[in-house]
Structure 1
């Protein structure tokens, strides 16, 4: 059985955590406002604006229709413009953000739309302005669902980083390809699968726990 240095495994794990963390942070900062704009400007929304809604909805649908591996290759010139190269963890973060931001926006939009319309009407009857409705009624009511949404997005990002590894993006995916598949090392392939399963299970457990705690509050 072929062995692999623990340092290489640790480096792959830290690269994956780095890519997921940065991409999730920036993707959330972009996705949440997009979701709010979609909810507010949609037909019969609090601030209905059909033009803004159509543009945002179309952009999100277009990006989400592209498989990540195709998006990764399609924006190579943009990635090179931003980070100066097309390989490595920093380069992988660019397509990861573009991939996850619309995904988060659509999931959070769904969470916000699940809020009881009666709560919104109640807020309006109190004279609450749109920003106050969003801050004090809409987001608090949807917070548990949003946490589960971000949990799903995080798990999706882990899968995307694995695909990024096939084109030199680093991380666990690159470890599986370069040290496992290309060297016919079954042990490394199984090891990467086990690592990914453990990470996903931990994230899902944490997300479910936080969502449950917020619901009880």
Structure 2
């Protein structure tokens, strides 16, 4: 993937890892549509604010029409609602799946024709070490990320003949608002994660493992 000449759409670009993606893409010379539910929350000079709520099909459709020159989609937007599967709130459990699975799928389906019309491109799905490791207290999030991993692998095979590469980023805790309660020594710098992910995209890597805990868990899965 040619990052320098890409036209990128980043979901959830107003904070955390998404903001680092948008900033580093701009530094590398890309044109960036910075997606957020409230576009006024985008404060990156050079980025184009894009109203995008990944749980709202009408918002997704409008965004795909605005960013009609896109060649790179980064599905980054997400939530963490801290719900176990048995004792948790079922509405919140559904919300995790609506965001991480159906939201990602909806944005991807809307932008595939855009990427294809622009000669092909790439999609990066931001997943998690919890795609593979499923602690009880994070059951809802883990299930949603596992579904996102299955989505990524299936869509990768479906889109390869159409000139669209699909990669997954797996990472543990990052130093963002979502992990505010986690001790600092257990968290990775999101700027470093974004850099690794963009380097991996440029190299065409299908799976990008951004920290030691993720690499260890992945190695334990076998082939």
Higher relative CO (Cα under 8 Å, sequence separation at least 6) belongs to: 1
Higher Rg of the two aligned structures = 1
- Whether TM exceeds 0.5 here: the answer is no
Higher helix share: 1
TM-score for the superposition, normalised by structure 2: 0.30
